[in-house]
Every structure is written in C-alpha cells, then in structure tokens.
Amino acid sequence: RQKIIIDTDPGQDDAIAIMLALASPQIELLGLIAATGNVPVTQTAENACKILELAQRPDIKVYKGCPRPMRRPPINAQHVHGQTGMDGPTLPTPKHQPEAQHGVSFLLETLANHPEHSITLVTIGPMTNLATALIQAPDVVKRLKQVVAMGGAWSETGNISPAAEFNAFADPDAAAIVLNSGLPVTLVPLDVTHSFLITTDRLQALSALSGTCARAAYEMLTFSSRFDLEKYGWSGAPLHDPCTIGWLLAPQLFTGRNVNVEVEVASPLTLGATVVDWWNVTNRPINAHFLRTVDADQLWALILDGLSRLP
Ligand code: BDR
Ligand code: CA
C-alpha cells in the first residue's frame, strides 16, 4: 500500500481526489493538511472534515496549515468554487474537528516517525505548507518518497491569469522553493487536467450511483460545471485534482517527461507561470516529471468505480 498525505484546499475537485484515495485499497491515507487556497484555511479544514464525515472515516485527521502564502497576500477562487469553496451539496456542520497540531508540524512529525522514502505527499492546493516545512526542516522533508502536485500550465494557457494556473499563482514563491528543493516532484498541470472534463455523460453516470459520497460528488460537480459552461463554453468542469491520485493508481494512463521547470516569482504580468524546458534548450537541471496527457475515459472509469465503493 502506498502511504500518502494530501495537502488540500477543498474545492469540489479536491473532494473527488480525497474520495478516490479513500476508496482505493492500494492507498493508505495518513492524514489531510488543509491549505489556504480556494478559500481561507479555516474553511478548507472544515470542508476536509465534511468529506471525511461523508466517507465515514473519523479515524483520519485534519490538520490546519498556513493561513497565508509565503510572501504575497492571499487570493481565493470563490468565483469558481462558491462561497464555501465546496458549494453544491448541503452538508451538515461536521462533528469531526481539525486537530490542534499545525499541518506543517504534523507533516514533519509523520516523516520523522516513518522509514525514509516511504511517504508520498500529494499537494492539490498552493504549496505553502510544503515550502514552509522545507524552510523549517529540509532534512526531514527529504525523507519524503516523492511529491505529486497539481499545479502549473505550459502548452495550455492559465486559468487565473493568462500566464498562470491557480495553485502556482496563489503562492509562486512556495512552488519555486519546492521545485528547487531536490525532491522528486511530479507536476500535473492544466495541460493534463483541461482534457479531463466532467462532461454531461460522465455526470449522468455519476448520478446513477446510490451512495452518500457519490450523491455529494454529483451535486458538487453539477455546481462546478456551471462556471465552466458559462465562462469557457465547455461541456463541464475540469477534474484537476483527482488526476494526482489517478497518477499514483495508474501511471500508465499518463504521458510526460523529465524536464526543468522554473516558476516566475517577480513579473506582475506572468507571476506564477511555470516555464517548462520541454526540449532541454537550457541545460538547467531536471527537477520535475511534467505530465502532458491522460487517458480521460480510463481515469473516469477508475473514479466511478472508486465512488461506487464508498458509503
Ligand atoms: C486548481 O485550482 C483549484 O481551484 C482547484 O481545486 C485545483 O487544485 C486548478 O487550477
Ligand atoms: Ca485544489
């Protein structure tokens, strides 16, 4: 079983990623760290608790991370995800509460207490918590097996600015620290996720499932799709974050390349842009596995199968 920690800012697509992890016997979820991203961290932590409660997993704990990006003021994506960041279903206030321990401290403690290179960190929000951990205790963070991060864009244009993807843009300094840390990083950018839309057919297949989680997922993705339909004229919202878990479960569904990726941290025009040296024209060191394509039908089948196994 792959041991993972998910650092997340739910987010309807974050919720589906977490549900897929919970449904997969190949994955052992050690905990959730809440990030400041789509909405402030207090709200993302509450949303994470709601997901665990839906899935009846009170054994998994939620840890609040940093309340703001490293150097810049926080932004949010309520225009996409709604007031709560996870609009769609009406979910009760969870009994499950976040732990008192800080998310960065949970990450460092967990890494120290497990064998080296046995834990994967999946980041599906801005990378502030991981970057903070790298500043606090780089040697402990080096015990990670790998980082799998949803973030960045290259051949696909940005979704929060013309140049940048939301997670990279929200904390570009954190993304730059992570990419220059020497950790093995796989990036799942918009190049991949914009080809994985929750189309009407897929939404309909989801509506046929009977569990509480599947129902909530259906309501969340119905909400998400409205934005992309109005804004882009697409048939449905991209399922960004579940691609990270999909990569862990079925890497054969993806293609990518080991490349150098740098993040713009200064220019007001292109802040958060990920510059990918796809053709190795610079000789800069390789620091990431950058994914470019996914077999969307197969990945959707995996998600549907996972959701059908949850309560
Ligand atoms: C990313 O931004 C967030 O709004 C989504 O949850 C996803 O992690 C996509 O750019
Ligand atoms: Ca997210």
Task: Summarize pLDDT for 255-278 with one digit per residue, the tens.
Answer: 999 999 999 999 999 999 999 999
Output the pLDDT for position 190. 98
Higher-pLDDT residue of 236, 198: 198
Which residues contact residue 40 at a Cβ distance below 8 angstroms, ignoring those fewer than 6 apart? 67, 74, 76
Output the pLDDT for position 228. 74
Helical residues (DSSP H) of 210-250, grouped into ranges: 212-232, 242-249
Q: What is the pTM of this model?
A: 0.98
Chain segment 151-197, per-residue pLDDT in tens: 999 999 899 999 999 999 999 999 999 999 999 999 999 999 999 99
Output the pLDDT for position 236. 84
Task: Work out the percent of the chain whose per-residue pLDDT is above 90.
Answer: 95
Chain segment 68-82, per-residue pLDDT in tens: 999 999 999 999 999
Taking the CA of residue 193 as reference, the ligand 1 atom at the shortest distance is: 9
Q: Is 194 in the pocket of ligand 1 (CB under 6 A)?
A: no
Contact 188, 168 (CB under 8 A): no
Amino acid at 59: D
Contact 242, 217 (CB under 8 A): no
Q: How many whole angstroms from 124 Cα to the centroid of ligand 1?
A: 7
Going 60 to 66 to 69 to 73, the CA torsion angle's sign is positive
Q: Which candidate, 16, 37, 8, 74, places its Cα nearest to that of 223?
A: 16
Output the pLDDT for position 227. 79
Output the pLDDT for position 253. 98
In the Cβ-directed half-sphere of 125, how many Cα atoms lie within 13 Å? 37
Active site residues: 240
CA distance 76 to 109: 29
Q: Which of 9, 78, 192 has most ligand 1 atoms within 8 Å of CB, for mutation? A: 9
Which residues contact residue 72 at a Cβ distance below 8 angstroms, ignoring those fewer than 6 apart? 171, 172, 173
pLDDT at 234 over 90: no
Contact 66, 104 (CB under 8 A): yes
CA distance 120 to 97: 24
At 26, list the tokens. 């190949």
Q: Is 77 in the pocket of ligand 1 (CB under 6 A)?
A: yes
Q: How many whole angstroms from 168 Cα to the centroid of ligand 1?
A: 9
Output the pLDDT for position 101. 98
Output the pLDDT for position 226. 82
Instruction: Report helix, strand or coil for 62.
Output: strand
Contact 95, 50 (CB under 8 A): no
- What ipTM is given for this predicted complex? 0.99
Task: Work out the percent of the chain whose per-residue pLDDT is above 70.
Answer: 100
Taking the CA of residue 170 as reference, the ligand 1 atom at the shortest distance is: 2
